Amino acid sequence: MPYRRKVKDIEYSLYRNEEDFRKDHPDTSVNTDWRNAEEGEWILTDDGQVTMVIKRGMISDESNIYIRTLIGMVNCKRSNALKGEPITDIWRFSRKNWYESSLYGNLSNSKRIFAKYVASGLEPVDAYMKAYSRTKDREYAKKRTTLFLKSKKVRHLIDKEIELLLSDTGITKSYLLEKTKDIVDDRNSRDSDKMRAIEVLMKISGLLSTEKRTDSIALIQEFTGFSKEKLNAFKAGVLPEPSDMTANGEKT
């Protein structure tokens, strides 16, 4: 059975191959060069499917001619290919809608800035509105933020930014493990001190989670002397270079 869908009250079909197409249309011609096909013509896609051109259009000039089919829109340039599964949004060139792009899309510069702000301790919604400065609707920003934080790529980027922040203060994974072990192994340490030390270090390590970042940043300040000035500079996106800072994070 072919895939069928109505577009503006007209039903279009997508056949997996020409053999299936011939069962319903034994004598109908198929244009094997989809780039030159007109609206209403049956075409053979680059992966051997058969479908109909829903629309042929031009964006600005004759070098930007496109066709629309059940598997999406594609520019008719020789370097492009027409293939793949049918998609919901056939009115744009991207095969991903905004939801898919947010969840699975590439890391844009704005996403990278968003990750940096979240890692620095900003609330995710505030980080989004700062990274996407044209956004004025907080509810919209909240929805997009929720989606961003579901993205493995974005979460991984946030983790990397946090690791850089920790490394800048001298806290590495090895440091955390060594210090934890030192305190636990110290015979003179009280059990309560050991538990407190482990708890603090594990909370700092917990920065690798996207939750309660502000509290975790405060712990870094408390136990490493990470200055508020430097932290605020990081939040503002103007973190000074290491050569301009003293060991305590103050300007030289």
Among the ranges given (16-25, 137-146, 174-183, 234-243), the one the predictor scored with the smallest mean pLDDT: 234-243
pLDDT for the residue 98: 55
pLDDT digits over 101-123, tens only? Answer: 555 556 678 888 888 888 877 88
What are the helix (H) ranges across the chain?
Answer: 18-24, 98-104, 109-120, 124-131, 138-148, 152-168, 173-185, 191-205, 213-224, 228-235
The whole-angstrom separation of Cα 128 and Cα 146 is 10
- Domain ranges within the chain, ordered by starting residue: 3-75, 96-252
β-strand partners of 3: 14
pLDDT band at 91, cuts 50/70/90?
Answer: confident
pTM, two decimals, is 0.42
Length of the chain: 252
pLDDT band at 248, cuts 50/70/90?
Answer: very low
